[in-house]
């Protein structure tokens, strides 16, 4: 898995995930990096072959160092 910036529009980041030899492209919709409590996360949505983002299938990943300190 690696993150790559869209070459045509630098404000749109994408992530490519290769699973079982097939690469899927996702757009990074939102990121979180809270330095106060260590919380990190992101939301991604799949991009189809026409470069359209399918926001009906959003994936959210979240990680926190100390769950009790999240505000």
Residues near 15 by beta carbon (within 8 Å), at least 6 away in sequence: 1, 2, 3, 4, 25, 26, 27, 28, 44
Looking at the structure of the chain, the number of domains it has is 1
Is residue 26 over pLDDT 50? yes
**pTM for the full model?**
0.67
Mean pLDDT estimate for the chain? 78
Assess whether pLDDT exceeds 80 at residue 71: no
> Does the pLDDT at position 4 exceed 70?
no
| Domain coverage including residue 50 | 2-69
Span 2-18, mean pLDDT?
59
């Amino acid at each position: 898995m690696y993150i790559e910036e869209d070459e045509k529009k630098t404000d749109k980041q994408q992530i490519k995930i290769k699973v079982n030899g097939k690469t899927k492209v996702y757009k990074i919709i939102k990121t979180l990096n809270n330095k106060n409590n260590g919380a990190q996360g992101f939301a991604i949505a799949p991009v189809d072959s026409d470069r359209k983002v399918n926001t009906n299938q959003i994936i959210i990943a979240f990680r926190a160092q100390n769950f009790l300190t999240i505000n």
